[in-house]
Amino acid sequence: MIPNQLIEQLQQAKHLVILTGAGVSAESGIPTFRDALTGLWENFDAEQLACKDGFLADPSLVWGWYEWRRNRVLKAQPNPAHLSIAKLAKRVPKLTLITQNVDDLHERAGSLDVLHLHGSLHHPRCINCGTPYRHLETEPVGSESRIDPPTCSRCKGLVRPGVVWFGEPLPADQWALSEQACQNCDLMMIVGTSGMVWPAADLPYMAEKLDVPIVQVNPTITSFNGLAKFNLCGKAGEVLPKLYAATFSDL
Ligand code: OAD
């Protein structure tokens, strides 16, 4: 089930890069981005909520959506996929973890120095002056979908979610470190991402151009299937613990 050649490559890897997407948090009960509009939100369009114009047009609707998502994350726990990635970091000489996710489940599983390409639900800031806003840890969100965003203590601007919206550039430092890692690794794993959002989806292509073997973990076929040398078809929370055990348990 786990190819021997992959086990050998993982045992010998000097620098492993792992790129994760929404699928890695699916088994923690966090809906994938394209599934996130259920219940209260089913009549909205994710791409319209996740952009600056959408926020400015209706701040309480968009802030309410992000608060709903943030509260789901606060109640969720890391799953065996997050935990296996944190364990892998202790077994390979170097691991760079790049995520498109805006939750903090990798950190709560024990991963350090996670590169967040799309920002974080947990780091809101003023839309005008950028001053960080400190969330109360457990601000309750009831059944109301709309919540007025707080205002900045410095300039009274609206506080916006700390995520990257459609049409915005990625954080330059996180992107530069991700590119550098993909150009200097000797094995790359892509876990639970549809590969539909650029430039993040470009990273595996950068590595593959340099002959880095690509391993994909996903229960469905994605645009990366042709690129990947190893396609491990299944849920990340099942496949990654098996891969870890097959590679390191008897060393
Ligand atoms: P998507 O929602 O596009 O894709 C999720 C992927 O996870 C799909 O390929 C699923 O097959 C896979 N998946 C589902 N359950 C899984 C499981 N248990 N184990 C492994 N894989 C599973 O999410 P992303 O690719 O992360 O950007 O989307 C990338 C970006 O698109 C997001 O970061 C967000 C969105 O637009 C921004 O908000 C800027």
* Per-residue pLDDT reduced to its tens digit, 66-119: 998 898 899 999 999 999 999 999 999 999 999 999 999 999 999 999 999 999
DSSP code at position 151: B
Nearest-angstrom CA–CA distance, 120 and 170: 12
The answer to whether residue 120 scores a pLDDT higher than 70 is yes
Spacing, Cα 23 to ligand 1 middle (Å): 5
The answer to whether residue 41 scores a pLDDT higher than 80 is no
Spacing, Cα 78 to ligand 1 middle (Å): 16
Nearest-angstrom CA–CA distance, 130 and 154: 10
Known active-site residue 118: yes
Whether 100 lines ligand 1, by a CB cut-off of 6 Å, is yes
- Structure confidence at residue 76 (pLDDT): 95
Whether 219 lines ligand 1, by a CB cut-off of 6 Å, is yes
Spacing, Cα 9 to ligand 1 middle (Å): 26
For 215, the enclosing helix (H) or strand (E) is strand 214-218
* Per-residue pLDDT reduced to its tens digit, 211-233: 999 999 999 999 999 999 999 99
- Structure confidence at residue 135 (pLDDT): 73
Instruction: Give me the count of residues in the chain.
Output: 251
The answer to whether residue 43 scores a pLDDT higher than 70 is no
Q: Indicate the pLDDT class of residue 134, thresholds 50, 70 and 90.
A: confident
What domains can be seen in the chain, in order of their start residue?
A: 1-29+77-119+169-251 (3.40.50.1220), 31-75+125-160 (no CATH)
- Structure confidence at residue 209 (pLDDT): 98
Q: Which residues contact 162 (CB under 8 A, 6 or more apart)?
A: 102, 119, 120, 121, 122, 123, 124, 125, 132
Q: Indicate the pLDDT class of residue 31, thresholds 50, 70 and 90.
A: confident
The answer to whether residue 44 scores a pLDDT higher than 90 is no
Reference 66, options 154, 129, 128, 127; nearest CA is 127
CB 161 within 8 A of CB 126: no
Write the single-letter amino acid at 132: P
Nearest-angstrom CA–CA distance, 97 and 12: 18
The mean-pLDDT minimum among 15-29, 66-80, 168-182, 215-229 falls in 66-80
Q: What is the mean pLDDT of the chain?
A: 92
Whether 80 lines ligand 1, by a CB cut-off of 6 Å, is no
Question: How many angstroms separate the Cα of 80 from the Cα of each of 18, 26, 148, 242?
Answer: 15, 11, 36, 10
What is the token pair recorded at 97? 């973890």
**Burial of 214 from C-beta contacts in 10 A (0-12 / 13-18 / 19+):** buried
DSSP code at position 166: B
Nearest-angstrom CA–CA distance, 114 and 144: 33
State the SS3 of 58-108.
CHHHHHHHHHHHHHHHHHCCCCHHHHHHHHHHHHCCEEEEEECCCCCHHHH
- Structure confidence at residue 178 (pLDDT): 98
Q: Indicate the pLDDT class of residue 131, thresholds 50, 70 and 90.
A: very high
What are the DSSP calls for 23-59, one per residue?
HHHHTTTPPPGGG---GGGTTS-HHHHSBHHHHHH-H
User: Which of 19, 49, 100 has most ligand 1 atoms within 8 Å of CB, for mutation?
Assistant: 100
